Structure 1
Amino acid sequence: MKRLIERGLMFGNLIAVDSPALIERYNRALEHLTGQRTGLADFHIDISGYSPEVGDELGDHLYLNQGGCNRQFILLTTEQKGAPLLGMKFSTSRGILRQFIEENEAELFALTARDAVGGELVNSVFSVESPEKLFDIRKVTIEADTTGGTVRQAEKLGQLVDRFKTKDDAWFDDVLIAQMIGMAKETGDVTRNPVRLKQMTFAQENFWTAHFGGLYLFRGMDHPALIASGEKDALGKLPIKYVFDMDDRNQIAKFFEFNDLVEPIVKARGIDAAAILRQKMDFIVVDAAGDAGIDLSDATRADIRALARSHAGHLPSEYHALRELVEWAEEGGKWPRISSDHPAYFYTLRAADVKDAELVNMLLSELAPKDIRQLFICHKELFYRLYQGWSETKKSYVADFLAREYMMDKAGAREALFGHEAPMDDHPAPREDVIERVGPWGAIRRR
């Protein structure tokens, strides 16, 4: 994994904690939450305050996430909102933390100027010892305060101030006045600078979890389903009608279709579909070359395509199906009928413009894992796991490609691959006419 770290593809954008003041604040919060302290002179933290170096020191990389269910967090700075979330157990956790920081940025900036803010993402359940317990998770509530209880004390002071304003003869209540003065020394003037964090609760309808080998739960859909990365039979009886695993390709395709969750890449507006498909073809060639032990050092796109020409007979069916699709899009070739049981099928799709597009793209990246760019962007946990089993030549090529082609403009790459333009008109062609004209994937415009 060293080459990934060196290229900023792993542990990138972490926040350095390297001053005695910050380390002491971190230790106060860490002791408050876990009863432990770190003796490190410097380390790095993610959006939740988790540090891989501290995890190594403590021999426990779940020190802020015991049981992987109710993640605790330590905020030293609002800059953590741009950091990744390492060791993710639920796909919604980073988004929740980022929104919490952004919604309370001014308050958190003031609080972290003097102390660390610690808290917890409190699920509806306290453990997930069985897959069935995941269905009891309905919401996540954020609880947070400084180590010294500033927010709690400010709330009490606010209540005392309200009493003072409304109580008759309050000016003569020496005890009440003394209480307010004592608390104000700790919290500041809450009437001018209110130290209140918004009470935030997030519904949890659709999410991915790392538990039980990886599960995608889509229950906020017209046609709900759970999709497992491992064997579905090992999950036992669950309170949902449809349970699939990665071998149920036809059923997953129908699930996508019935819920309008995906669109063909060649149908998407505002993107260069042929270029995206050609890049996927290159990745498939790289995968085949890596398995064959071919040296890919310093390979360019021209080199990859020369390999494809010279080894065309040994390339997998995914490559040839995508090539036919590109020929159709660019040159008006024969329409390739790629059914859902074809290995190339999920390479031809991306998430539609829906609320859960990130979760859908995450699932698609697992169904089409040879597309290493989409895998890295949408499902880093799976990318890192698969990376460890790749040949050295493939590891080198992938790390170099991502550093060169993706890290230079991450936002632009994401927009080019997954962004959505507004439709040009509000009255698209009837579905039946479109299918009759261009095939089963809908209204596809040739370039």
Structure 2
Amino acid sequence: MQRLIQSGLMFGNLIPVTSPALVERYNRALQHLTGKTTGLTDFHIDISGFSPEIGDEFDDPLYLNQNGVNRQFILLTTRQKTAPLLNAQFSASRSILRRFIETNESQLFALTARDVVIGELLNSVFMADTPRRLFAIRKLTVEADTVGGTVRDATALGQKVDQFKSREDAWFDDVLIAEMISLSKRTGDIVRNPVRLKHMEFDLPNFWTAHFGGLYLFRGPQEPALICAGDKVTDVPIDRVIGLQDRNRLAMFLERNNLAEPLVRSRGINAADILRQKMDFIVVDVAQDLGIDLAGATRSDMRRITRQVAGQLPEEWHGLDALLRWAEGTGAWPRITSDHPAYFYSLRASDHSDAALVNRLLAELTTKDVRQLFICHKELFYRLYSTWNDTKRAYVADFLKREYLADKAGARAALFGHDAPMEAPEPDDLIDRVGPWGAVRRT
């Protein structure tokens, strides 16, 4: 993993904590939340305040996320909003933390100037020991305050100020006045500088969780489903449970709920370039098995290597090659059904609020596409990276550093961006007859 770390592909954008004052604040927060403190004098933290170095020190990668639910967080600075979330157990956690920081940025900036903010992403369960418990997670609330309780004290002071203003005899209530003075010493002038964090609650109809081998829960679509990356789970309150190996049922689920679309019919992207790159990644996978050196391989080198391994290329490559010929107008529309190994490689999420979740699912179904895997499902990328030989590791790390890190936003837009259609596309009799992905076998 050292190559990934040095390239900025792992633990990238973490916030360094080197100041003794910030380390002391972090320890106060850590003591408050976990009863522990760190002996480290410098470390790095993610958006939630989790530190991989402290995780190693405690031998506990979930020291801020006990039981993998209700993630706690420590905010030393609002700059944490750009950091990644490590050891994510739920797909929505990072986006919720970032929205919380951005929505309350001015308040959090003022609070972290003199204290540390701690909090928790609260849902209705405290452990996920059975898959059924996950179905109780429907909302997530962000709760936060400083270690010293500044927000709590400001709320109490505000209530006492309202009481003082509304009671005719308040000027003679020495106890009330003394309490207001005592609270104001800790909060400052809340009239001129109100200390208030916006209450934030999020609905979670659809999400991915790392629990039970990886589960994708879709409750929002017309036909809800639970998709299992590991062994199929049982005793869950949903009728449709689908395993990743159930390719036809997965394809039907995505199509009927309009969750995915074919690359070659998508707007806002260059489908031909994306297909070529996917094909190159498949060639890289074959080349590593054959012991071919990929160091510094360029696009022209990849064409040479493709000719060299042409006899060993799998059906995924041939299916995408047929789609590429059709997209460039040099071939007929290929019949690629859900049983074909190239089928899910030919899809991307359609334009809806859960596009990131669907692209994560598609990445898990198309693991040879290492770029989409890295962008959409880093946990699985890191796990598979450790199983590759050094040739493939070097090629992938160099490619991602050169082609993705240089322009993350541009790369994401090129792969997943959606442009509104200017007009309805002309009907294509064959495509309209068999569906945009090709015929899906209905069982």
Under a length normalisation based on structure 2, what TM-score does the superposition of the two structures give? 0.97
Of residues 345, 349, 366, the one that matches 1:368 is 366
* 1:335 Cα deviation from its structure 2 partner: 1.2
* 1:176 Cα deviation from its structure 2 partner: 1.4
Alpha-carbon deviations, 1:233-258, whole Å to 9, x = none? xx222110110111100000000001
Question: Is 1:440 aligned with 2:438?
Answer: no
Partner of 2:441: none
Is the alpha carbon distance of 1:97 and 1:316 closer, same or farther for their aligned partners in structure 2, counting shifts above 3 Å? same
Partner Cα distance (2:383, 2:125) in 1: 28
Partner Cα distance (2:352, 2:268) in 1: 17
Of residues 268, 271, 277, the one that matches 1:270 is 268
* 1:135 Cα deviation from its structure 2 partner: 0.6
Partner Cα distance (1:319, 1:361) in 2: 20
Over the aligned positions, Cα root-mean-square deviation in angstroms equals 1.3
Aligned to 1:136, the other structure's residue is in SS state coil
Partner of 1:224: 224
Check whether the contact 2:67–2:127 (CA below 8 A) recurs between aligned residues. Answer: yes
1:3-402 superposed matches below 5 A: 3-232=3-232, 235-402=233-400
Check whether the contact 1:225–1:240 (CA below 8 A) recurs between aligned residues. Answer: yes
Check whether the contact 1:214–1:228 (CA below 8 A) recurs between aligned residues. Answer: yes
* 1:178 Cα deviation from its structure 2 partner: 1.5
Partner Cα distance (1:215, 1:368) in 2: 17
Is the alpha carbon distance of 1:28 and 1:321 closer, same or farther for their aligned partners in structure 2, counting shifts above 3 Å? same
Check whether the contact 1:78–1:101 (CA below 8 A) recurs between aligned residues. Answer: yes
Check whether the contact 1:17–1:43 (CA below 8 A) recurs between aligned residues. Answer: yes
Letter in 2 for 1:127: M
Is the alpha carbon distance of 1:438 and 1:308 closer, same or farther for their aligned partners in structure 2, counting shifts above 3 Å? farther
Alpha-carbon deviations, 1:374-416, whole Å to 9, x = none? 0000000000000000011000100000001110000000000
Letter in 2 for 1:422: A
Aligned to 1:115, the other structure's residue is in SS state coil
Aligned to 1:143, the other structure's residue is in SS state strand
Aligned to 1:207, the other structure's residue is in SS state strand
Partner Cα distance (1:428, 1:165) in 2: 65
Is the alpha carbon distance of 1:73 and 1:9 closer, same or farther for their aligned partners in structure 2, counting shifts above 3 Å? same
Alpha-carbon deviations, 1:97-141, whole Å to 9, x = none? 011111111110000001110111111111100111111111111
Partner Cα distance (1:21, 1:348) in 2: 52
Partner Cα distance (2:282, 2:211) in 1: 29
Aligned to 2:129, the other structure's residue is in SS state coil
* 1:439 Cα deviation from its structure 2 partner: 5.7
* 1:205 Cα deviation from its structure 2 partner: 0.8
* 1:191 Cα deviation from its structure 2 partner: 1.0
Alpha-carbon deviations, 1:69-123, whole Å to 9, x = none? 1110000001101000000000000011011111111110000001110111111
Check whether the contact 1:267–1:443 (CA below 8 A) recurs between aligned residues. Answer: no
Check whether the contact 2:336–2:437 (CA below 8 A) recurs between aligned residues. Answer: no
* 1:329 Cα deviation from its structure 2 partner: 1.1
Partner Cα distance (1:364, 1:439) in 2: 24
Letter in 1 for 2:434: P
Check whether the contact 1:205–1:219 (CA below 8 A) recurs between aligned residues. Answer: yes
Aligned to 1:331, the other structure's residue is in SS state coil
Aligned to 1:223, the other structure's residue is in SS state coil
Partner Cα distance (1:220, 1:179) in 2: 49
**Which runs of 5 or more structure 1 residues have no equivalent in the other structure?**
none
- How many matched pairs? 438
Alpha-carbon deviations, 1:132-188, whole Å to 9, x = none? 111111111111110000000000000000011111032222221111111111001
Partner Cα distance (2:300, 2:243) in 1: 37
Alpha-carbon deviations, 1:243-280, whole Å to 9, x = none? 01111000000000010001110111121110110000
Partner Cα distance (1:194, 1:214) in 2: 43
Under a length normalisation based on structure 1, what TM-score does the superposition of the two structures give? 0.96
Partner Cα distance (2:133, 2:71) in 1: 17
Partner Cα distance (1:437, 1:210) in 2: 37
Partner Cα distance (1:6, 1:332) in 2: 43
**Which runs of 5 or more structure 2 residues have no equivalent in the other structure?**
439-443
Partner Cα distance (1:100, 1:110) in 2: 15
Partner Cα distance (1:137, 1:437) in 2: 40
Aligned to 1:216, the other structure's residue is in SS state strand
Partner of 1:415: 413
Alpha-carbon deviations, 1:414-433, whole Å to 9, x = none? 000000001103x555xxx5
Of 265-274 and 354-363, deviating more is 265-274
Aligned to 1:119, the other structure's residue is in SS state strand
Sequence identity, in percent? 66
Partner Cα distance (2:215, 2:437) in 1: 32
